[in-house]
Amino acid sequence: MKRNYEKVKAYSASRNQKKLAIVFLTPWIIGFIAFNLYPIVTTFCYSFTKYNLFQAPQWVGLKNYFTLFTSHEFYLSLFNTLYYVIFGVGLQLILALATAILLNLNVKGKSIFRSIYFIPSLMPPVAASLLWVWLLNPKYGLINTFLRFLHLNEPLWLISAEWTKPAIILMSLWGIGSTMVIFLAGLGDIPHVYYEAVEIDGGGAWSKFKNVTWPMLSSITFFQLISGMIAGFNIFTQTYIISQAAADKSSLGGIKNSLLFFAVNIYQEGFSYLKFGYASALAWIMLLIILIFTLIIFKTSKKWVYYRGE
Amino acid sequence: MVISKKRKFLQYFLLCLVGAFFLFPFLWLLDTSLKNDAQIFKFPPDWIPNPVMFSNYKDALHAIPFLHYTGNTVKIVFFAVLGNLISAPMIGYAFAKLHWRGRNKVFILVLATMMLPFQVTMIPLYSMYVKLGWINTIAPLVVPDFFGKAFFIFLMRQFFLTIPEEMSQAARIDGASEFRIYWNICLPLAKPAVVSVGLFAFIWSWTDFLGPLIFLTQSDKWTISIGLSQFTTSHGLDWKLLMAGATMFMLPMIILFFIMQKTFIQGINTSGLKE
């Protein structure tokens, strides 16, 4: 009798939970349809049309995709974006991990150093970009003043096509604070006995990193790699500000289009030239490339990502 | 374990060297914001501004309608934060604590939307907002926040999962309704996560650039992000005013960081996919 009563109670609890779940999830469902599903499907449809926002979209079939695959700008923006994602995001992760390891050492004043390393990542992208345009000023900027002091080569940075991308990567390294903090949390979770075991076996610092730190951090690294890559594909604000601050404001892609990234290209084709159909085709190709990259990372992750408890 | 003095010295040396890379751009920002043109273009540069030009800050306020833009930004930030504070805990709770069929499969959809670049959705959204008459209003920048942002839902779900189920069970035996269990038990326990959501929503909304750039075309509706970027076009490149403006723009965040340092770091850690 009592067991039956509990069963009935559990049943009504789960029914009440379902009712509340429906109430709680309704906003998400509406939002998902309105702000995600509808736009993705619509972008896909627009990509087969000529559309300038003022007239109804006109069906043009695969024309946008043909134009895209024969366009010099498309390949250039793809190259620039991959350059930034591979070197920029790669360096960001390596440097964030290295600074996290440095901060995890047993030293005094750790929290002061942590704050100093972290604060730049709070800087609004617009303000950070403006600051770096000034820092990288070839004549009066801090960076070249410093290089001059060391009698080193002084690049022209944002006004020479070959230095713009390294410049923007340098800029991005300044804001690795939040990535570093996540690594730092992961390092704090590694049990000390693991390191002691390596010491007993006579292993040094490199052996500790290779056999303990790296495998224990691999699931965090994996997450950071995926989110870093997606953020890398989205790079926009920095280029926009740099090209606005440049003397020649004709293109959003910076000097000789050396900063024409994928997202910049989409914005320019859509909102500057009002070619929304073509911009939609670009957006879908960008989505596909991100998907392919994500899948590749997922596939290879089985080889290097280690989950505790496995 | 004895660590040699040499090694200790090397550690501090490295910490300071990396610290210089993070710190010096800031000092340069402050430095420039307090100089006059003659000093800015002096060669080699002096570090100490003389005279100290506090007037740059006053001038920056008038070079662009800085306070007006600040007002616009504050309005957007207020509603964006409010929206996320209402929606994220609710939706995160439904994914963590309420039992319904297909819960984990639907959650994958939430994660998928986190990976969807804004560039892919912005064109249809723009034309949708044109039809709704939302362009040049704050609606496109705040309404989506009331329907839940994937990252915040994820953050709340992770946190709710750490609250033991026994808590809810005990309340259920005492006859509490499901909503009361959420409102009076789980939500108060999730306060650190809720604060993180508020903080991140604040930062994102305060610093957002692409959203206002697209959806706010009339200059009297602009936010500080857009206003600052206009410094580069309408006033040439007046570095001292620009740097003063940039300093004021980031001040609220630095202050917030020092007040809520712990919450900040914790919030980021929660988002780092720790089990």
| A252 in contact with chain B, both atoms CB, cutoff 8 A | no
Q: Does the beta-carbon distance from A25 to B237 stay under 8 Å?
A: no
Q: Does the beta-carbon distance from A135 to B25 stay under 8 Å?
A: yes
For residue B192, what pLDDT is reported? Answer: 85
Helix axes A125-135, B224-234, angle to 10 degrees: 30
Residue reference for tokens 């509340």 = A20
| Residues of A in Cβ contact (< 8 Å) with B254 | 119, 122
In whole angstroms, give the CA distance from residue B109 to residue A75: 31
Q: Which pLDDT tens digit goes with each residue over A95-124?
A: 999 999 999 988 888 888 988 999 998 889
The answer to whether the CB of B250 falls within 8 A of the CB of A122 is yes
The answer to whether the CB of B79 falls within 8 A of the CB of B198 is no
In angstroms, the Cα distances linking A79 to A85, A257, B168 are: 10, 11, 53
Q: Characterise B11 by phi-psi region: left (phi > 0), alpha (psi -120 to 50), beta (else).
A: alpha
In angstroms, the Cα distances linking B161 to A227, B156, B165 are: 22, 9, 9
Whether omega for the bond prior to residue B49 falls within 30 degrees of 0, making it cis, is no
| A272 in contact with chain B, both atoms CB, cutoff 8 A | no
Query: Nearest residue of B to residue A98 by CA position?
Result: B18
| A43 in contact with chain B, both atoms CB, cutoff 8 A | yes
Please say if the pLDDT value at position B132 is more than 50: yes
Determine what percent of chain A is predicted with pLDDT higher than 90. 65
| B11 in contact with chain A, both atoms CB, cutoff 8 A | yes
More confident residue, B269 or A182: A182
For residue B71, what pLDDT is reported? Answer: 96
> How confident is the model over A76-90, as a mean pLDDT?
96
Q: Annotate B68-103 with b (16+ C-beta within 10 A) or e (fewer).
A: ebbebbeebbebbbebbbebbbbbbbbbbbbebeee
Closest listed residue to residue B208, CA positions, set B253, B265, B141: B141
Q: Does the beta-carbon distance from A262 to B119 stay under 8 Å?
A: yes
Residue reference for tokens 């926040």 = B145
| B119 in contact with chain A, both atoms CB, cutoff 8 A | yes
| B244 in contact with chain A, both atoms CB, cutoff 8 A | no
| A295 in contact with chain B, both atoms CB, cutoff 8 A | no
| B10 in contact with chain A, both atoms CB, cutoff 8 A | no
| A243 in contact with chain B, both atoms CB, cutoff 8 A | no
In whole angstroms, give the CA distance from residue B22 to residue B12: 15
Contacts 24+ apart (CB under 8 A), A95-98: A95/A173, A95/A176, A96/A176, A96/A179, A96/A180, A96/A183, A96/A224, A97/A180, A97/A183, A97/A217, A97/A221
In angstroms, the Cα distances linking A26 to A20, A30, B108, B120, B179 are: 10, 6, 17, 24, 15
- Provide the terminal-to-terminal Cα distance of chain B, rounded to the nearest Å: 32
Q: Which pLDDT tens digit goes with each residue over A146-205?
A: 898 898 988 999 888 899 999 999 999 999 998 998 899 889 888 989 999 999 998 888
Q: Does the beta-carbon distance from B124 to A245 stay under 8 Å?
A: no
Who among A116, A124, A132 is closest to B19 (CB)? A116
| A162 in contact with chain B, both atoms CB, cutoff 8 A | no
For residue B3, what pLDDT is reported? Answer: 60
Q: Which pLDDT tens digit goes with each residue over B32-84?
A: 999 988 888 877 777 788 788 899 999 989 888 999 999 999 999 999 999 99
Confidence of residue A32 (pLDDT cuts 50, 70, 90): very high
Residue reference for tokens 């833009």 = B69
Of B21-25, B206-210, B238-242, least confident by mean pLDDT is B238-242
For residue B274, what pLDDT is reported? Answer: 47
Closest listed residue to residue A34, CA positions, set B201, B143, B88: B143
For residue B83, what pLDDT is reported? Answer: 98
Residue type, B89: P
CA geometry: angle at A236 spanning A62 and A140, to 5°? 140
Please say if the pLDDT value at position B266 is more than 80: no
Longest CA–CA separation in chain A, Å = 90
| Residues of B in Cβ contact (< 8 Å) with A290 | 115, 117
Confidence of residue B229 (pLDDT cuts 50, 70, 90): confident
Q: Annotate B172-192 with b (16+ C-beta within 10 A) or e (fewer).
A: beeebebeebbeebbbeebee
Q: How many CB atoms lie within 10 A of CB A227?
A: 19
Whether omega for the bond prior to residue B51 falls within 30 degrees of 0, making it cis, is yes
Residue reference for tokens 């005492």 = B174
Among A131-145, B33-47, B82-96, B103-117, the range with the most confident prediction by mean pLDDT is B82-96
Q: Which pLDDT tens digit goes with each residue over A47-62?
A: 999 999 889 999 999 9
Confidence of residue B265 (pLDDT cuts 50, 70, 90): confident
User: Across chain A, what does the average pLDDT equal?
Assistant: 90
Q: Does the beta-carbon distance from A181 to B275 stay under 8 Å?
A: no
Helix and strand numbers (H, E) in chain A are 16, 2
User: Across chain B, what does the average pLDDT equal?
Assistant: 89
Q: Where are the domains of chain B?
A: 54-270
Helix (H, G, I), strand (E, B) or coil at A49: strand
Q: Annotate A19-45 with b (16+ C-beta within 10 A) or e (fewer).
A: ebbeebbebbeebbeebbeebbebbbe
CA distance to partner chain B, nearest, from residue A57 (Å): 11
In whole angstroms, give the CA distance from residue B223 to residue A91: 32
| B96 in contact with chain A, both atoms CB, cutoff 8 A | no
Helix (H, G, I), strand (E, B) or coil at A308: coil
Query: Nearest residue of A to residue B181 by CA position?
Result: A17
CA distance to partner chain B, nearest, from residue A157 (Å): 16
Which of the residues B119, B168, B225 would you substitute to probe the A interface, choosing the one with the greatest number of A C-beta atoms within 10 Å?
B119
| B28 in contact with chain A, both atoms CB, cutoff 8 A | yes
B270's tokens: 């929660």
For residue A234, what pLDDT is reported? Answer: 94
> Which chain B residues in 254-273 lie under 8 Å from chain A, judged by CB atoms?
254, 257, 261, 264-265, 268-269, 271-273
> How confident is the model over B156-163, as a mean pLDDT?
90
Give me the helices (H) in B97-117, please: 103-115
Residue type, A202: G
Confidence of residue B89 (pLDDT cuts 50, 70, 90): very high
More confident residue, A186 or A67: A67
- What ipTM score was computed for the predicted complex, to two decimals? 0.89
Please say if the pLDDT value at position A88 is more than 60: yes
Residue type, A33: I
Please say if the pLDDT value at position A76 is more than 50: yes
Which of the residues A22, A26, A36 would you substitute to probe the B interface, choosing the one with the greatest number of B C-beta atoms within 10 Å?
A36
Confidence of residue A248 (pLDDT cuts 50, 70, 90): low
DSSP A54: S
| B46 in contact with chain A, both atoms CB, cutoff 8 A | no
> How confident is the model over A15-32, as a mean pLDDT?
94
The sign of the torsion formed by the CA atoms of A73, A76, A78, A84 equals: negative
Who among B41, B87, B179 is closest to A140 (CB)? B41
For residue A310, what pLDDT is reported? Answer: 46
For residue B143, what pLDDT is reported? Answer: 97
Residues 6+ apart with CB under 8 A from A102: B11, B14, B15, B18
Model pTM score: 0.91
Who among B32, B213, B257 is closest to A119 (CB)? B257
Q: Does the beta-carbon distance from B123 to A46 stay under 8 Å?
A: yes
| A182 in contact with chain B, both atoms CB, cutoff 8 A | yes
Determine what percent of chain B is predicted with pLDDT higher than 70. 95
CATH topology of domain B54-270: MetI-like fold (1.10.3720)
In whole angstroms, give the CA distance from residue A24 to residue A32: 14
Please say if the pLDDT value at position B130 is more than 60: yes
Q: Does the beta-carbon distance from B15 to A284 stay under 8 Å?
A: no
| A12 in contact with chain B, both atoms CB, cutoff 8 A | no
